[in-house]
Each structure stands twice: as C-alpha cells, then as structure tokens.
Structure 1
Amino acid sequence: FSARGDIFTLPAKHGITRNLTETSGVHERDAYWSPDGKHIAYISDQTGEFEIWMQNQDGSDKPVQLTKGSKTFIFDILWSPDNKKILFNTKEQKLKYVEVESGKIVVVDKSDQAPWFSYNWSPDSKWIVYTKSEKGMTKIRLYNAETGKSYVITDGWYNSNNPVFSSDGKYLVFTSARTFSPTYSRTEWNHAYVDMNKVYLVTLAKSTPSPFAPENDVVKPEEDKKDKNGNKKDKKKDSKEVKIDIDGIKERIVALPVEASNYFNLYGGKDKIYYIERSSKGGGMTAKIYDLKKKEEKELGKNTRFTVSANGKKMLVFQNKKYAVIPLPSGKVTLKETIDVSNMKVLVNLKEEWKQIFDESWRHMRDFFYAPNMHGVDWKAMHNKYAEMLPWVNHRNDLTYLLGEMVAELNVGHAYVNNGERPKPERINTGLLGAKLSKHESGYYRIDHILNGANWSDNLRSPLREIGVNVEEGDYIVAIDGKPTSQMDNIFRSLVSKAGDQVILEVNNKPEKKGSREVLIKPIRNESNLYYYNWVQSNIRKVSKATENKVGYLHVPDMGVTGLNEFVKYYYPQLQKEALIIDVRGNGGGNVSPMLIERLMRDITYATMRTGQKTGDVNPVGQLLGPKVCLLDKYSASDGDLFPYRFKYKQLGKLIGTRSWGGVVGYSGSIPCIDGGSLVTPSYGPYAADGSGWIIEGIGVEPDIVIENDPADEYKGIDAQLSKAIEVILKELEEYNPEVPPIPPFPDKSGGEGR
C-alpha cells in the first residue's frame, strides 16, 4: 500500500506492518510487488522528479533508482511476469519499459492524442498488449518485445479497451463497444447509446478452439504420447511460451454471453474471466466471474474491487471499506478476516511535507498545463520566487495561499488549489420554513412571505405550502414545540438540528396565543432551491404578461445535469411559443452547451399533417421557429461562457446583458497531493474555428446590447436586462412572424398521375 507519501507492506493476517520509506519530504506512490515477491517497485520524487525505484520487500537494503533523467509525470507501473522489466506510461504520451538489471529504457509506442494507455504483459513476458487512441477511436495493439514490432488487432469501427492476457496464454480478453441498442427519448424523437460494452476474447493461436465452439461428447482412447527417445512425455510440464498468430486474429474475436454494460478491471484466469461491471441502470460496481467451462456468470459481490496476485492464486479484495486477501474465488465473496490497516502510521514533518507539496504542485502545472509556453511566464523563475517564502509557511492555509499566488502568475481560469488535511467539523443543519419572517412588536414572528414550491418534488418542498398546513402570509408563529416565540431573540435557535424532523408550530392570524392552532411540519435544510424556483417562475410570469403569452422564457443554471434538466423541463412545453428568451446569467458551467445549442439551431425541413389536423407539425421535431435572445452576465462562466459564444457564432439571436466571466481553459481532473489536497491544472483550451486565435479566456463574451442591472433595483424586483430582452424580442416578432407552413391542397390522383 501507499499512504501519506510512504510505502507500506502489511500482513494479510498476522505479522508486522512495515513503513519501507518513512520520508515526509518525498512522495512515494503506486507500489507493486515483483511477481517473485522479492522486491517492490514504486514511483518516487526523491530526486526532484518522479522516477521508478525498487527495493527489497523487507526493506533490508537501500532503494535502487531504476529510471533516470525523467522530466515528466509517470503513471501506472507494471512488472513483467519474469521480473526483468517494468512497463510504465508518461505525460509525454509515451508507453515505455525499463529493464531492471541494466536500467535501459525502451519506448513501446507514443501517441499524439492522449497519454492514457491501458496495457498488460503476456505470461511469457515477450508481448505487451495496449490500447492506443487514433482519431477518436481506441484500438488494441500487440507489441513484440523481442522484435520491437507492433500489430493492430482490433479495427477502428469499435472502441476497445482494458486488454489482458489470460494466465494460460491462450486468450486475449478485452472490452469493446459493439452492442447497438438505442434508448429513445421521451421528450423528442432522439436517441442515445449507453451500455454498449461486453467482454470479448481472442484466441491467440489459430489452433486454440473457441471456448464457445459446439461440443460433442465422444470418448477418445487415451494416447500414449512419447518423445523422440521413446520416453513418456511429462503431462505436468506446461510451457509458458505464448503462441500468437497475427494472421486472421481480427476474425477470432468472440463475445462472452453477458449483458451489454460497462466493464473494467479484467483478469483472465485459467478458464475463468474476472471483471467489474458498472451499469448505467445503477446499482454501483459489481464484481463478477464468468466460467468458460460451465458457461455461466456469477456475482462475486456488490461495491467490490479486486486485484489478483501474480501467481493467480490470491485476490486482494476491497469491500465495504475493508481489505482482505482470499484464495481466488469461484463464487460469492464474503470477507471474514480483513487486513488490519490501523498500524499504517507515519511521523510527519510538516515543513518537509509542505515543501514537497509545493514542488510537486509546480511540476503538475509544468507537466499538465495546456500551453507549453506557460503563457509566456518563466515558470522556473516563479518556482524560485515563491519558494523563498516556504520557511514562513506555518499552516496548511499558508501553503494553499502561497500556491494560489504562484498559480495566479499564469493568469488563467480553472486553476484551483484545494486544501489538504484540515479539520472537518460536523455540520448541524438548521430547519428552515421556506418563508420570510419578521419580529412583530408583540414579540411574535410574522410570516411576511411564503415561498411557493412544487411539493410533489422532494427538492422543491415548501413546508408551509404542504397539504393541510393552511398557513397564510400575514399569520403569526406564536410557539414552536410548545415554546413561545415571543421569548425568543432568534426564532431559528429553536430549529437547530430540526431539518427533516417533525416540528409543531402554533400559528394564529393575530399576534397572540389565544385562538392559535397547531400544525405539524417538517422543516427543510436549504431554501436555495425554493428561492431559485420562485425567481424562475416570477420571470416566466413577467415575460408572459409583457408579451401577451407569445414569448417563452427559460433559465439554465449550469451546464451539467441540473442545467440540462431545467432546459428540458422548460424548453419543450414552450415550443408552441412564437419566440424564446434563454437566460444563462449565473450559469456555473459544465459541458452540455453543445446539446442545447443543437436544439436551438434546428430549422424546418418540411411539415407533416395527420388525419384531422388543421395545422402541420414541423420536422425535425423539438424546434422553436421564432426569434431568440440570450441573457448573460459576469457570472456566466466556463461552459456558461461557451454557450453565448456558440449562440452568437451560429447567429441564433442577440446577446443581452454584460460580458461573461471569461474562463474556458478547462481541466479533466486533478492528481492528489500527499495530504489529500490537490491542484487543478487547466489542460485544454478552445480556439477559433478558423484557427485565428484562442477565444474567450481572460476576456469573456461581449453582449450585443450592454445592460447593467442596478443592485438596488434588483432588490426591488426590477430586472433591466430581462426588460430589455422582452423589448428586443417583441420588436423582432414585428419583423418576423414565424408560422408553420400551411397545408397545401391534397393530391388529386384520379387521372392516374404519379403526383
């Protein structure tokens, strides 16, 4: 195991837990046993750069540095079965291996598209199987380590991944997206493909029969096999050499008869295939096994992960947040004896650790930043400039601040420094009523305003609007759980930790106890969804009233699942409108803007009428024919920047409001630091379709019509930007009145004409 930047060995049942490295100022990670169990290889930045190191499994000798001169990030080391080589992947987008004895490094392949390889060794250590992305499609390749030749074994029609050799060398097992079963949308005539993958295997030698070939139970006489000297051959002698016939290999692919889903973490045992399934239908990760002899699939366990030992006899299982080493299973896994991780202890020198985190964060930005020129900044000089302040760092917050200042020199968005080890106090949720209250001179609390909700939805439940509560604006809350509110200086003290629990309110239409009645409610923990819902509904009413119900309105809060849901919820019910205002003010970003723009771009190709219809239906479906405008502001960020950019580029309508945030250089994830913190590195950026330059970053998207909202007016409910959008779109409707094409005269084919 690796933890807190150190390498540990733990006994499966009984024994000593060893910390093999004990280095606060060094990040050691990704530790792997050699197949013979004598050594442990791992990645360490002891030299100031990540390199591959090796040491005896009992820590009895000094670590040996295997690679030298690395200037980039190293991923996912993998021992060869003969213990002589270690395969690894780098941020330079190269797949390499290092020879353990000599330190010689061999480049297997390189990619100009993506650095992420999936790879594995053959049992005889002579072949490497790996994936390579080519023009958006991932193919599986075989590399001969003796000849240096590489062969493509899957075609470019289907994405294929996760290749592994079976332990007996007969098969290559992999996943591939070859199942086409569309899911059709309920909102429009459209489709999506999910759960396209199955597990497949290839017979490596032509002479190896398919495990699914027809069988015929014929009794054959036992052959007395002898060698050339007349001696009986030893049946137990099993050659490890893997025979691969490249010719015709693409035609020797067969699917396991399992459900199309998403599979990963494959292991090919003898006559058994192990894998993890994660279906889009939910249910989390499920570890499974397919028995090639019995032709049946069994479940090992839900929310279970595993790694198989080099000899194929043991399995390290992670289940219910516990680890255990068990014999290679053939059925349901139940952990009885688990690994004791309580002795994985480190003595941390925070000063040394903070320096290591500082240096590694600097390297992360160097290696993963999208622009090799670092925006023209002398990045080494920035390291030296801010490193001078490390002696005065005395708290993790200090380090986070220092890293933030260094990263800010690059002048780029989406560069976030996330704190590491910090105390996490328990959050106590105060119950909220979904209402605005004020303290009356009597001491009781008046209900000034009740937020409307959609009480059929748990996310939009307004406690005082639920069936049977019958509380009105202007009523008074005179007691909570029997305690008079007139004696409370803050009514919410009586609701601390009451979110989701039953609470008795005593309410009255007068500020007095006499004549009050009790109502039973469940306060909510957060009112933000209710406030947002009420704001959107208010805007819909404003637009509808000002345009005589001709113009639709929708707001998209982000470009993720929530934003997509809001778009679908409000776009399709308003297709009968003559025009549309799309509001992306405050949009927090995501990645679904292309989906929304595609729908807004649709143009009529023809219309269709059905029996009895007076007007036709446009095709393609799901389109709004009339003019559109888009509202944006300085909080329209990331993909919330890109949406108005696309809107303007495709000439869908005018942009109204203020310039957007201006941060579109995105990121794909982050790599954790020793203490659990991380640095988010902007790793890809958009540029103009004509290649003329980089777009939006640091500038934002300029509106066609600039309108600032005055905060004082906003507080009063006056939205100048929305009012301008209404004004503009009504004027556009005067010039363009969209209509479905009229139904033409019906064909007269009485004369036999074709039309």
Structure 2
Amino acid sequence: MVRENRGRRVLGMALSVFLLLLSVGVTYGAREDRPLWLRYSAVSPDGKLVAFCYRGVLFVVPATGGEARALTTGADYAAAPVWAPDGKQIAYEGHRYGNADIFLMPIEGGEPTRLTFHSTGESPLAFNATGDSIYFRAMYTPNARSGGFVTGWTRPLYRMSVKGGDPALLLTHPLAALDLSKDGKTMLFEDVKGNEDPFRKHHESSITRDIWSYDRTSGKLSLVVERAGEDRNPRYTPDGSAFYFLSERNGQSMNVYKASLSNPSAASAITAFEKNPVRNLTVSRDGLLCFSYDGELYTMREGVTPQRLKVSVNYPNEEFAVRDITFRSGATDASMSPDGKEVALVVRGDVFVTSVEHGVTRRITNTPTQERSVSFSPDGRTLIYAGERDGSWNLYTMSIVRKDEPNFAGSTELEEKELLKNGKQNFQPLYSPDGKEVAFLQDRTKLMVINVDTKAVREITDGKQNYSYSDGDLSFDWSPDGKWLTLDYVAKHRWANNDIGVVSAAGGQPIIDISQSGYTDGEPRFMMNGEMIIWLTDRYGLREHASWGAQQDVFAFFTTKEAYDKFMQSKFEDELDEAAKKANDDKAKEPESKDKKAGKDKDDKKKEEKKKTIKMDFSRPDDRIVRLTLHSAAISDALVTPDGKSLYYLAQFENKYNLWKVDLKEREAKKVLNLEVGGGSLSFDKDAKYIFVATGSSLIRVKESDHSRKNVSYNAQFSLRAPQEREYIFEHAWQQVKDKFYRTDLHGVDWKYYHDTYKKFLPHINNNYDFSELLSEMLGELNASHTGSGYRGSSSEQAASTASLGLFYDANYRGKGVKVAEVLIGGPFDRAASKVKAGTVITRIGGEEVESLASLPTLLDRMSGERVRIDYQGGSEVVKPISLGMERELLYQRWVEQRRKEVDSLSKGRLGYVHIRSMNGSSYRDVYDNLFGLYNDREGVVVDTRYNGGGHLHEDVEVLFSGTKYLDQVPREHLVSEQPRKRWKKPSVMLMGEANYSNAHGTPWVYKNQQIGKLVGMPVPGTMTSVWWETQIDPSIYFGVPIVGYIDRNGRYLENQQLEPDVKVRLDYQKLDAGHDTQVEKAVEVLLRECDAVKASSPWTAIDAKYSK
C-alpha cells in the first residue's frame, strides 16, 4: 500500500539531533579573490569604506577595493549594517541569541555591544544626525491608543539611545527602509503594505512598495512616490534636494533612479542593468553611490558607469565539510519488513534499516540528494525506493548480496541497482505481491508498472483523471493476485472530492468507479485476501461548518457477492459454517486409495490456483459497500484482519490519535492502545501477526493477538554534507517549479537562465539565512504570489523567549519602574482579584528591580507559564506571564472589539461588524456566530477581510452573504423569524486592503463578481492561487510554488489580476494612532446609504412593520 503523503505528514517528527563528531576539517577555502553573494552593502558617510555581509560575517573594505576585514565571526550571523554619522561605529542585525537583535560594533573591531533583548527581533535602519540614537523597526506591544492591526509584518519605527534604554515609538506606519535628511528633521521611508515576499520581482500591484516622507517637526506624512511597481530604498542626495531610490520601471529589473523632491514623478534612471536586481543602495556625504548587484559590490558617481568593487576575502569558511550526526527521530517514511523483524525508514533523505528486536541500525544510502517511498520486496531481501538524481526521480533497488546474511541490519554487502531512469519523474514504487513487478507513479499522476526482469514499462492509467497537489498525496494498492490495482482518483472533474477506482494491472482498461460518491473518498487498499477493498470517506461524519473537512469512516467494498454475503452473516451462521467445514475436514482425513489420493491432490492444486485468482464483480457496487466503523472520527489509517473479523484504525475521538479495534461480528469498538499522537499509518506483516504503527513520535510493533507493543528504536548515523545538500535543494526547487508551477509557460520567464545565474552563488553560501534568501531571489523572478523560501532557524539554548504580562505601558512615564496604561483583556492581570489597573506602577518582577521599559525583555525572558511575583506600588500579586503568541491573540481580539464599537457608534446601532481573520473553518464559525447572534436584528453588516492571509472559504462566504428573503414566519400575526435563517439576507459591504492575500483575494473577487455588495478599501493584488509549501530534507528550509490557478469567464487567471474596490479609501495611519479607522468610517457611510435605499424600496418593510407590533 502506497501512502507516502501520510507518512510525510505524520512522521515529520521534531528532530532530535545528537552531535557526535565534527569531522573532516574545521575550515576550507580560506582565501577568495572574487567572492560572490556579497549582500547588505553600506558605504561609510565619508565614502572611504564599504561594509557588507558575506557568509554571515560583517566585513569592511576600502571603497576603492582590496582585501576585506572581518568585524564579526561566522558564529553570529550578521546582516543589515548601518553606519554612525562619524563613521566610527556600525549597528547591525545579529542572530547570536536565536533571533534578530541590534548590536553596535566599533569600526576597529572588538566585542560588539548588544542593544536589544526582545525575542520578536529588531532591525536597524539608521542613526540620527548626531549619532547618539538608532532608528529601528520592531514588533513590540503597541501603544494603548492605537487602532492598528498587530501582525508580524506591521513593524513600526522606534528610536533608542546607542547607550541602551527605553525604545521610543516614532511612527506606526509599517516600513522597511529609511533615510534621514542632514538636519534629521525629515525622513524618507519605504512602506510595507502586506506580507508578500520581499524578493518577489516584476509585479505591478497595490502591494508593491512606495516611498513616503515624514516631517518630524509637523508630524506630517506625505506620499512621495506611488506607482503600481516596486520603488524602494530611498536615499537623500548630498544637497537634500532630491533622492536616489531603487525601482522596477520601463520593463527593466531593479535599477537606481533619481527624482527631485519638488517633482518626484519625473524620475530618471541612473543605472541600466537589464537583468538581476540592484540591492542595498546607500550614498555617502560626497555622493558616492554603493549597491550590490549580481552578488558583488558596485560603486559609482552620478553620470559615471558603475564600477565593480574588486574585493578579496581572507577568512576561513567556518562551515564543516562533513558533520556526523545521529538521528533518533525525524523519520519521514517507514515500512515494516514482511517478517516483521525490520523497519526501513528515511531520515533526512537517506534510507536506513533498523532491527525491531535489537535496535541495530544500518545505513542503506549515503547521498546528498533525497530518497523516499521506501518499502521491502515480498522476500524481504530487497528494498525499493525513489531517488532524485541527475534532475529526475528514478527508481532504485538495494539488495542483500550474501545468501548467508538474512537481513539488512546485519548485512555486510549490499548492491544498488537502477530499476528505472528515463528522464521522467518516477516515484512511490510498490512491489507486486509476487515481487516480479513494481507499480509506481510517473510524472505524479500516471499509474505505471515495470517488470523487474525485462524492465518493460506499461501504462495503467493516463493520468488525465487525477491531479497531485503535493508529492505523495495519491494512493494505490495491488490486489493479492497482482491482477488489479485500486486507487483514488478524480472521477468526474471534481477535485479534490476523489472517488475510489479499480483498474486492471494489465493496462489498456478504463478505471472502474466503485465508490460513486459525492463525498470525499481516499486511500484505498485491498484486505481479506482480496475479497475486500477499504477506504476512508467523510460521507457520514460530522462536518466543519465551512469547507474545512469532516470526520471520517472506514468503508468496505466486497469484490464478490459471495464475499459480501459471508461477511454479512450473523455470528450464529458463521458457527454453523465452521461446524460444516470441520465435518468435511474430518471426512477428508479418512484413508484413501493411492489413485484416489493422486486425483484429489491434482484437484486441490487446481482449487488452490483458482483461489489465488481474485474474482471481481463490478455490477451494482453500491449493494456491496459497508460502513465498518461504528462512529465517525478523524481517522488516520485502517486495516482489516485477513479473516475479516477485526478492524484496526487510528482515530482521534478526543485530542490525540489512538489505536482502536472494532469487532466486526459483535459490532463493538474499543481502544486497544493508548498512543496520544498526532496521527500515523498502519500495516501488517505478511502473516498479519504484527501491526506496524508509525506515528508522529514513534515506531511501534503491535502483536495482533494480545496487543502487546514493542517500541522500535533506531540510531541513524548520518554524515551531513551541507554544501552538497544545499545544492540538491536548489536543484530540487528549480525542478519543482518547472514541473508544478500553475502555468507551463512559467510566466514567460527564462527559467534556465535564472538557474545558472543563481547557482553560481552556491559555493559562496555556508548558512541557511543566505541560502533561503538565494532561493527567494530565484523564485521571485517568476512574478508570482506564494513564492519564496523561509528559514525556520535553529534552536539554541541561548535563544531569547520574551514573555508578556498582558499590559500596555505609559511610554511618557519617567519614574522608576513601569506605569500601566491599560490591562489587556484576557491577560494575566485580567482577574477579579487583581488590583493592577491603569496608573499602577510595577517595581519588581520575580524579586528583581524594574528600572524602566528596557528592563522588561530581560526580566521576562523564558517566563511564559511560570509563576512570578509582581510587586507594584501598593501591593504584589503572583501571575503567570503569557507567551508573545498569546499576547498577539489577545491584541487581535481587542482590535476586533475596537472595530465593532466604532461601527456601532458611527451607525448608531444600525450596523454590525465581523472580521474574517483567515479563510478557514474556525474563522467562519466566528463570523456565523456573530452574524446571527449579535447582529441578526441589524440592518446591515460590515464584512472585514483586511489582513487575511488566505485559506479556502470563497464558496462559503458567497453562500452566507448572498441570501434573499423569501418568507416571514408569523404565528397568530406575530413575526418570529425570517427566511432564509442560515444566510444573511440584508445589505453588506466588504472591507479589503493591500494585505489581503490568496483566498482573501478570491473571496472579495467572488463577492463582487456575484454582485453581493460593494467593496470598500484599497485594491487587492491578484494572488488567487493555491500553493504547496514544501519542507525540505533539511527541515529548517521550505519554499513555495503556486500550483493551482483560477480562471474567470473571460479566460483570464486571477493571479496578477488586481481587484479594484468600488469605493477607494486609504488607511490613514495617523488617525489610526488615535483609534480612528478611516476605512471603517467609509464602509459605514456606504452601507448606511445602501440600507436606507433598501428600506425605502423593499416590500418587506411594510409587511415586517405590520407583524412586528
């Protein structure tokens, strides 16, 4: 049975890594005369030096070129250097403590000074004019008065002294880069409107960056450059009358432009690079421009051709060429041997086999590329797996060579053979029951079979009735006689509501639909020696209120009427059959003549051969489908014993999955093994003596007869070759785009060119911060949403983890301690017994004095969930601080309540407000609950989709808000209800903005397309695609590929098709600071007019008034 996707999903265990030896040298490649991937360039104020980052190290080099000097070490990843005005210090972003902190480094070198300690991370942007303060962006607890939405990308601007101290909030407008005028009174900055990957290129939409100015004296914000395209990284010219910036204009890549402050729309190009972006523009006081391009540093003066800075680096690469690691968890595939004595597994892309009884683990493959879909041959002496090598997924076998060696764990000689390599993508191999053939998927959707001896390949299905969203999400299984295959497939153009099919293994025959269901069916497998096919279905289970899943059951289809009839017999009838069989067996034991015995043996052989061939009766399949489970649940996998008496399944009835059993005759269910895991997969050994359970945290062998368990351990000795592994991931990402991008034309991008362009940087990268950025740059060339890569970071004992007291603080308080401005509802102090309130001054945390706001990150580090005594003027209390994640949740609830109150106040109680936080089931429930609970008697409702990152809800939202009233329910002239009752039938408007993403583009598009109501706010970029975010063999790295597009009735993809509002209104951040949401205000105004018009024209107005008295 092939179930790779479940294995990946469930067995993606948290890595437990034990470093053994740091082998094969400490450094390599020390001196480089032309290093590449030089990033974060910054020219010194006097134009004499250039700071940059390479391999996570901060360097400086003369602006004329030469050998660079390291200021930091590779142990502390450094980025984003910013020069002090006197050129004597550099502030930079350092990751020494597991998150981005700001450090200050003297230009002569030495020990850096850490300035920030909060675990959300900070990034330096600029010094003030005198050099005694640093401007930076961070995500701290906001101002109590602010009405701004709090999320990861809405990082405001702060300032703090270079000597440390309290950060001061300057600007809540989210931004990414800024530059100060000479006198420090004004600043230019690059805005951030949403969470689109910053390395996406060539797009023209509302989310692209614009340039603003801020007058610190008057507090005035002005939009300087607004354009449907990228405009970034503003830098004042030396005289302050104009500014340089980076822009994608005139069909070119990112280049340097210049515009005057008096006429910023008339920009002129300073550089003319045709491909690849210019990054990290800075300007010295005497007008020397510096930037990075194509992995190297460039300087220029206006009107002069840019010159490549000749940089050499004489610094050891601090990455180990080979590092030995032992993995005791983290398997992504697992398969039990036919005899139940060994388990094959895949860890970090390599195949291992471990002994169930002894825990001895043998490494099977040793490649920097990826192997997956491992399983045993029927005789247990050969493994088959897929490996991605030389640009394609191929099929390989590994066999035990010596006949005197019975298993893999103890083998001394193995032989790998290439079974199939044809330039196509071949994976999920599965041996036929006799071991002579292998079924597999080709190019992800075609079911194929290859003969092991002749290598002849035949097509079983053409793939037209299937679609693979993520690799390994299609299931198939052999019948015991090897003549049939069962599979899940898209029967009638209704993906992803798949059906269950059976197809001849000979090929050339159509798929026969045996489920024929409008519900979702999947993961079929043969049971009971081929007399039964089971699968999972959501036909009867409780369903999510929206389109987000349902509980499942195990269904069975019987391949013949005889098998069905026998299964449906009562226990009494089974006992009668057993008695008759015993009588016949006793009679058969009577002595026979030699000739009669020979004839009988011949007849028995014919019967045995006939028995091995499975009958298939496809007439009236519905009459032979049985629900095996007694109760619906979230089910991860299922098995039926060969005698058909017992069903085993992994089910979640409470919080976690456990192993359950149904006695199929007595119709009784019970839990047989308490696992408390997140799901898993099940399989039998060849005799069904053991059940193999692979869960999210363990591998377990269970004896079927008494349910005794044996935990399977392994010690996978792995040699990490990080440079080769990164090269593999790079090639894999490039190929995944080529194979799975939602348009075969790849948006017209020369994908091979970008492969070669970015691959040359790989030898110069030694960490995953840079590698993730490299992948993002390459993927960003596609001009598509849902692209880019991320690095999840590495765990560190030094990593900061700031807790929260659930309080807003008075930033103007200058006394000792911190003064409370507001208690956050739901926070630690939101208790009836608490005396902490606005105005309370906190003096101690855990016995330590609180000097000021700057003390809090250190005093609350790693204190989430711990009992801590808080002293304040007038008393003390013991509370449990909350995590920053919980604080953000409470801030979200507060933000929604602010919007509700604003709508209620502005409309004088006539309108309601709901926010669709995400396009998922829980958000839908919240909306439905409030819509018909709080607001059923309101005249209209404001539906807010701003800051929604997507999901899948557009159909549900369309149905919910497109109701039309058709009846009143009136007993004895008294109006008690209106119909429909489950759909909103009154006016609504939908709020949207630039940060709407993915399905949060699709949902307002449907709302407008179906003419449900008006759209209010700002244009939404065209990002309506479905994405696969794929975690790599290095699980700290992931990347995204948009793989499903959506086409409208005009034949146009919604991707890159911007959605315009009916009423356009920009969010005014300065009014938002005082709690006024200008977009909400406009929405209320528009909706009230709509409600008045409906009230004046609807015939229901008079009818309802008559029966409401």
TM-score interval w.r.t. the shorter chain? 0.7 to 0.9
- Post-superposition offset of 1:410: 0.9
Contact kept? 1:662, 1:700, Cα under 8 Å: yes
Greater relative contact order (CA < 8 Å, ≥ 6 in sequence): 2
**Counterpart for residue 419 of structure 2:** 66
Residue 56 in structure 1 maps to residue 399 in structure 2 = yes
**Counterpart for residue 584 of structure 2:** 222
Residue 36 in structure 1 maps to residue 379 in structure 2 = yes
Contact kept? 1:93, 1:111, Cα under 8 Å: yes
**Counterpart for residue 357 of structure 2:** 13
- Post-superposition offset of 1:329: 1.3
- Post-superposition offset of 1:254: 3.8
Residue 386 in structure 1 maps to residue 758 in structure 2 = yes
Contact kept? 1:198, 1:262, Cα under 8 Å: no
**Counterpart for residue 332 of structure 1:** 707
Question: Which of these residues, 533, 544, 547, is aligned with residue 173 of structure 1?
Answer: 533
SS state of the match for residue 134, structure 1?
coil
- Post-superposition offset of 1:714: 2.0
Deviations 1:599-654 (A, max 9, x none): 111110111113462x3522101454443222211111112112221221122222
**CA–CA distance in 1 between the matches of 2:547 and 2:749?**
46
**Counterpart for residue 855 of structure 2:** 490
- Post-superposition offset of 1:675: 5.1
Residue 472 in structure 1 maps to residue 837 in structure 2 = yes
Contact kept? 1:173, 1:266, Cα under 8 Å: no
Residue 719 in structure 1 maps to residue 1077 in structure 2 = yes
Percent sequence identity is: 21
**Counterpart for residue 597 of structure 2:** 231
**Counterpart for residue 237 of structure 2:** none
Question: Which of these residues, 971, 981, 984, is aligned with residue 621 of structure 1?
Answer: 981
Structure 1 segment 730-749 matched on structure 2, within 5 A = 730-737=1088-1095, 739-740=1100-1101, 742=1103
**CA–CA distance in 1 between the matches of 2:994 and 2:547?**
35
Do the aligned partners of residues 543 and 77 (structure 1) sit closer, same or farther apart at CA in structure 2, a change above 3 Å counting?
Answer: same
Deviations 1:470-503 (A, max 9, x none): 3332233344455554688624543333333334
Quick one: which amino acid aligns to residue 595 of structure 1? D
Structure 1 segment 666-705 matched on structure 2, within 5 A = 666-670=1026-1030, 672-674=1032-1034, 677-688=1037-1048, 690-695=1049-1054, 697-705=1055-1063
Aligned Cα RMSD in Å?
3.4
Deviations 1:112-153 (A, max 9, x none): 242454221122223222232212354433333357545626
Do the aligned partners of residues 489 and 127 (structure 1) sit closer, same or farther apart at CA in structure 2, a change above 3 Å counting?
Answer: closer
Question: Which of these residues, 956, 967, 972, is aligned with residue 595 of structure 1?
Answer: 956
More divergent stretch after superposition (227-236 vs 665-674): 227-236
Do the aligned partners of residues 111 and 740 (structure 1) sit closer, same or farther apart at CA in structure 2, a change above 3 Å counting?
Answer: farther
Question: Which of these residues, 521, 525, 530, is aligned with residue 883 of structure 2?
Answer: 525
Contact kept? 1:616, 1:740, Cα under 8 Å: no
**CA–CA distance in 2 between the matches of 1:656 and 1:462?**
33
Contact kept? 2:555, 2:625, Cα under 8 Å: no
**CA–CA distance in 1 between the matches of 2:1027 and 2:1036?**
19
**CA–CA distance in 2 between the matches of 1:669 and 1:707?**
33
Deviations 1:211-238 (A, max 9, x none): 2314445554436457994007468995
Contact kept? 1:431, 1:500, Cα under 8 Å: no
**Counterpart for residue 707 of structure 1:** 1065
Do the aligned partners of residues 502 and 311 (structure 1) sit closer, same or farther apart at CA in structure 2, a change above 3 Å counting?
Answer: closer
**Counterpart for residue 586 of structure 1:** 947
Contact kept? 1:627, 1:729, Cα under 8 Å: yes
Do the aligned partners of residues 63 and 167 (structure 1) sit closer, same or farther apart at CA in structure 2, a change above 3 Å counting?
Answer: farther
**CA–CA distance in 1 between the matches of 2:643 and 2:476?**
21
Question: Which of these residues, 36, 40, 46, is aligned with residue 389 of structure 2?
Answer: 46
Do the aligned partners of residues 66 and 385 (structure 1) sit closer, same or farther apart at CA in structure 2, a change above 3 Å counting?
Answer: same
**CA–CA distance in 2 between the matches of 1:150 and 1:692?**
31
Structure 1 segment 521-670 matched on structure 2, within 5 A = 521-526=879-884, 527-572=887-932, 573-611=934-972, 613=974, 615=975, 617-670=977-1030
Do the aligned partners of residues 146 and 518 (structure 1) sit closer, same or farther apart at CA in structure 2, a change above 3 Å counting?
Answer: closer
Quick one: which amino acid aligns to residue 472 of structure 1? K
Contact kept? 1:168, 1:269, Cα under 8 Å: no
Contact kept? 2:476, 2:525, Cα under 8 Å: yes
Deviations 1:458-479 (A, max 9, x none): xxx1333320223332233344
Contact kept? 2:551, 2:635, Cα under 8 Å: no
**Counterpart for residue 278 of structure 1:** 651
Contact kept? 1:95, 1:117, Cα under 8 Å: no
Higher strand content, 1 or 2: 2
Deviations 1:140-183 (A, max 9, x none): 333333575456261523554333233534x1231354854767
**Counterpart for residue 142 of structure 2:** none
Quick one: which amino acid aligns to residue 596 of structure 2? G
Contact kept? 1:552, 1:574, Cα under 8 Å: yes
Residue 144 in structure 1 maps to residue 491 in structure 2 = no
Contact kept? 2:870, 2:879, Cα under 8 Å: yes
Gaps of 5+ in 2: 1-344, 401-410
Do the aligned partners of residues 345 and 701 (structure 1) sit closer, same or farther apart at CA in structure 2, a change above 3 Å counting?
Answer: same
More divergent stretch after superposition (145-154 vs 28-37): 145-154
Quick one: which amino acid aligns to residue 242 of structure 1? T
Do the aligned partners of residues 208 and 617 (structure 1) sit closer, same or farther apart at CA in structure 2, a change above 3 Å counting?
Answer: closer
Deviations 1:177-209 (A, max 9, x none): 485476797xxxx99994352332414474785
**Counterpart for residue 463 of structure 1:** 828
**Counterpart for residue 489 of structure 2:** 132
Do the aligned partners of residues 67 and 438 (structure 1) sit closer, same or farther apart at CA in structure 2, a change above 3 Å counting?
Answer: same
Do the aligned partners of residues 290 and 534 (structure 1) sit closer, same or farther apart at CA in structure 2, a change above 3 Å counting?
Answer: closer
Question: Which of these residues, 759, 777, 783, is aligned with residue 411 of structure 1?
Answer: 783
**CA–CA distance in 2 between the matches of 1:15 and 1:534?**
53
**CA–CA distance in 2 between the matches of 1:94 and 1:629?**
46
**Counterpart for residue 210 of structure 1:** 566
Contact kept? 2:353, 2:362, Cα under 8 Å: yes
**CA–CA distance in 2 between the matches of 1:484 and 1:500?**
21
SS state of the match for residue 36, structure 1?
coil
More divergent stretch after superposition (119-128 vs 517-526): 517-526
**CA–CA distance in 2 between the matches of 1:735 and 1:387?**
61
SS state of the match for residue 682, structure 1?
strand
**CA–CA distance in 2 between the matches of 1:467 and 1:252?**
61
- Post-superposition offset of 1:101: 0.6
- Post-superposition offset of 1:274: 4.7
- Post-superposition offset of 1:744: 10
Quick one: which amino acid aligns to residue 692 of structure 2? L
- Post-superposition offset of 1:584: 1.6
**Counterpart for residue 89 of structure 1:** 441
- Post-superposition offset of 1:546: 2.2
Contact kept? 2:630, 2:669, Cα under 8 Å: yes
Quick one: which amino acid aligns to residue 596 of structure 1? V
Quick one: which amino acid aligns to residue 1065 of structure 2? I
**Counterpart for residue 747 of structure 2:** 375
Deviations 1:66-124 (A, max 9, x none): 1121323x342211111111111233520011111111111111332424542211222
